[in-house]
Amino acid sequence: MTLNAPANGASICGYGDTELGVKYRFIQEGEWRPQIGTFPLLEVTTGSHKRGLGRGHLQTFLRLWAQKSIGG
């Protein structure tokens, strides 16, 4: 759900754009090495751009993810 609440107009609530993604880890965590992965994301135009509930175009993101556990 998306909320469009402009400062000088009526608020509109409805279904916005849909995000589709998958997280994939390609380096496992070691004693000194962090785990590293990627999180590609596709934002599909399913919300109404005219009503302010979507961007009106397809967007893609390619995120890099790194994480390291320290201690117990």
In a domain, 22, yes or no: yes
In a domain, 13, yes or no: yes
CA dist 9 to 4, 6, 12, 48, 59, Å? 10, 5, 9, 17, 27
At residue 6's C-alpha, the angle toward residues 9 and 52, to 5°, is: 100
pTM exceeding 0.75? no
pLDDT digits (tens, 9 = 90+) for 10-38: 898 999 999 999 999 999 999 899 999 99
- Confidence class for position 1, pLDDT limits 50, 70, 90: confident
* pLDDT recorded at residue 45: 93
Reduced to 3 states, what is the DSSP secondary structure of residue 14? strand
Q: Provide the domain count of the chain.
A: 1
In a domain, 41, yes or no: yes
In a domain, 72, yes or no: no
**Longest CA–CA separation in the chain, Å:** 55
Domain range spanning residue 56?
A: 2-67
